[in-house]
Amino acid sequence: MSGWMSAATRFTQTWVGAYTTGLSRQDREVRHEEINSDLWEHQYDRAADGAPAFVVALEVISRVLHGMPSDILWRFRMEGPKMEINIPLERLAGALLIALVVMLFVTASISGYDTGVEGFDAEMTRLANLSTLADNVNMVLRLVTGLGIIGAAAGFYVALQRRSQGLAALAGFGLVAAGVLALVAGALQVALVELAEQFVASSGTQQDQVLVTARSVALLVEATTGAAFITLLVSTYPLALLLGKEKLVPRWAIALPLAGGALMIGAGVVSTFSNEVGNMWLAMIGGGLCAVLWLVIAGLYLIFRPQPLALASEPVEQPASA
Amino acid sequence: MNRRSDTLLPFEISLLECAIGLLRGGTDEFYGYAIAKELKDRRGARRLTGHGTLYRALDRLSQIGLIESRWEDPNAATSEGRPRRRLYRVTAVGEQAVSEARSNDGRIAGVLKGSPSLS
């Protein structure tokens, strides 16, 4: 089979896999087998006509694209009148893992002020000068992220509690805590923007008082953001254990969060006994990246892991004609 | 999706007509790609029917008993080095339904009356 045709076949099979996800094994097998037969006949027939492989591949892709609306309607009919979407819980867990990566980055991006005594007034001026749109986007993003983390906690618990109630509850509890911390950090950030606006609008002693209060709030924003980020990272460990134990993701992948945890603990120890903070931050970032890498690998694996499809060996019975 | 179960779409009528044409030409069973090619040739279309359109129509016609299907013997497919085909055949009700649909704006309620697959 040519590279063109392989790609077209792969595309077709991926689409069939996507829209038949969650149907009964028999329904999925019938549709897969019928489409595979069609692909083979199409390729064979057109090769006999002497059509170039890339033309046949384009024809196949065109047929897939033109049939997509009907595929979706067919899928809904198969689900019945309630149009209930029956997505395997493992794929839901995979999608949530990928969503967690995004949430991790949004959570981490909240911080970043120069809270040192020198130069904090410049930070306040910068914050006050942000446009209302930027402030609103920031606020909504943080609210959505905080609620999203809490929603992900519920999703993980529902998806995985049948496999290990203890680990699923532990991960869910950690994620709820991280979500609440992220929401608190977001609320404090809103307060900080208000204080920044008060700061530029005031002068003299009043301005100094606002600056002191704002600096305390900024330190709290940093602390809660850091806590949310670390709680979120730590919550990935019970997930990694659970998914590895249940062989839902390759077992070797658990080395990543373990290495990440070791790096972060090492960074904590170094920071306790040494004044050298450069290496500590490198170790912290390395630890975080290991966890993020695991989230990406595990998430993609769970989403795209092919579901075993044994080809139907018996003819499929159809309703008898009148 | 809320389409009446006693009404055929123009594409479904064309598909049935095509299958009946094959039947009268001596081919009593057809498979997905073969009917897609036949439809293309008969309608003078530029391209083959999309997979989704074709197999959704075949599925619906099977559900209401206008066609029936079986999987071919795996040994026959293996000996030809290809995947086995799902073979379809137009039923007697299917043949009547086409005539009624043509004269009744797609409606086939009269033919389907008493059909167990609709009750």
Asked whether residue A93 carries a pLDDT value surpassing 80, the answer given is no
What ipTM was reported for this prediction?
Answer: 0.90
Q: Considering only A61-65, A271-275, B17-21, B107-111, which range has the smallest mean pLDDT?
A: A271-275
The residue written with tokens 């043509």 in the block is B102
Instruction: Tell me which range, A140-154, A203-217, B71-85, is most confidently predicted by mean pLDDT.
Output: B71-85
Asked whether residue A38 carries a pLDDT value surpassing 90, the answer given is yes
Asked whether residue A115 carries a pLDDT value surpassing 70, the answer given is no
Residue contact B51–A77, C-beta within 8 A: no
A44 interaction partners in chain B (CB closer than 8 Å): 82
Using CB atoms, pick whichever of B52, B71, B74 lies closest to residue A71: B52
Residues facing residue B7 across a β-bridge: B107
At A121, which amino acid appears?
D
pLDDT of residue A104: 73
Q: Which distant-in-sequence residues (6+ apart) come within 8 Å of B40 by Cβ?
A: B47, B48, B49
Q: At what angle do helices A25-49 and A53-79 cross, to 10 degrees?
A: 160
Tokens of A314: 């018996």
Numbered residues of chain B with Cβ closer than 8 Å to any chain A Cβ: 1, 31-34, 36-37, 47-57, 59, 62-63, 65-66, 68-71, 74, 82-86, 91-94, 114-117
Tell me the pLDDT band of A143, cut-offs 50, 70 and 90. confident
Tell me the pLDDT band of B70, cut-offs 50, 70 and 90. very high
Q: Considering only A43-47, A206-210, A248-252, A311-315, which range has the smallest mean pLDDT?
A: A311-315
Q: Which distant-in-sequence residues (6+ apart) come within 8 Å of A265 by Cβ?
A: none
Residues facing residue B87 across a β-bridge: B70
Strands B86-90 and B67-71: antiparallel
B50 interaction partners in chain A (CB closer than 8 Å): 62-68, 70
Using CB atoms, pick whichever of A76, A316, A322 lies closest to residue B93: A322
B87 interaction partners in chain A (CB closer than 8 Å): none
Q: Which of A215, A216, A225, A188 is nearest to A119 (CA)?
A: A215
A52: which DSSP letter?
A: -
pLDDT of residue A83: 44
B62 interaction partners in chain A (CB closer than 8 Å): 318-319
Residue contact A63–B49, C-beta within 8 A: yes
Å between B35 CA and nearest CA of chain A: 11
Å between B105 CA and nearest CA of chain A: 22
- Region of A222 (left: φ > 0; alpha: ψ -120 to 50; beta: rest) is alpha
H/E segment holding residue A250: none
Using CB atoms, pick whichever of A33, A74, A321 lies closest to residue B52: A74
Å between A21 CA and nearest CA of chain B: 15
Residue contact B117–A322, C-beta within 8 A: yes
pLDDT of residue A315: 39
Neighbours of A315 (CB within 10 A): 15
Residue contact A31–B86, C-beta within 8 A: no
Tell me the pLDDT band of A264, cut-offs 50, 70 and 90. confident
Q: Over the stretch B10-39, which tens digit does the pLDDT of each residue have?
A: 899 999 999 999 989 888 899 999 999 999
Alpha helices in B1-119 (DSSP H): 10-24, 32-43, 51-63, 74-79, 92-103, 109-112
Interatomic CA distance for residues B55 and B9, integer angstroms: 14
Residues facing residue A44 across a β-bridge: none
**Most A-contacting residue of B39, B51, B66, B71 (CB-CB within 10 A), to test interface:** B51
Given a contact cutoff of 8 angstroms between Cβ atoms, the answer to whether A155 and A96 are in contact is yes
Using CB atoms, pick whichever of B47, B71, B86 lies closest to residue A62: B47
**What average pLDDT score do residues A128-132 get?**
79
CA angle, residues A10, A300, A58, in degrees to nearest 5: 20
User: How many Cβ contacts (< 8 angstroms) between chains A and B?
Assistant: 122
Asked whether residue B64 carries a pLDDT value surpassing 60, the answer given is yes
pLDDT of residue A313: 35
**More confident: A59 or A84:** A59
Å between A94 CA and nearest CA of chain B: 27
Asked whether residue A320 carries a pLDDT value surpassing 50, the answer given is no
Please tell me the pTM assigned to this model: 0.49
Residue contact A44–B82, C-beta within 8 A: yes
Asked whether residue A132 carries a pLDDT value surpassing 90, the answer given is no
CA angle, residues A126, A128, A131, in degrees to nearest 5: 95
Provide, rounded to the nearest whole percent, the portion of chain A with pLDDT above 70: 84
**More confident: B70 or A284:** B70
Provide, rounded to the nearest whole percent, the portion of chain B with pLDDT above 70: 90
Check if A47 contacts B (Cβ < 8 Å).
no
Residues facing residue B90 across a β-bridge: B67
Provide, rounded to the nearest whole percent, the portion of chain A with pLDDT above 90: 13
Check if A31 contacts B (Cβ < 8 Å).
yes
Asked whether residue A130 carries a pLDDT value surpassing 90, the answer given is no
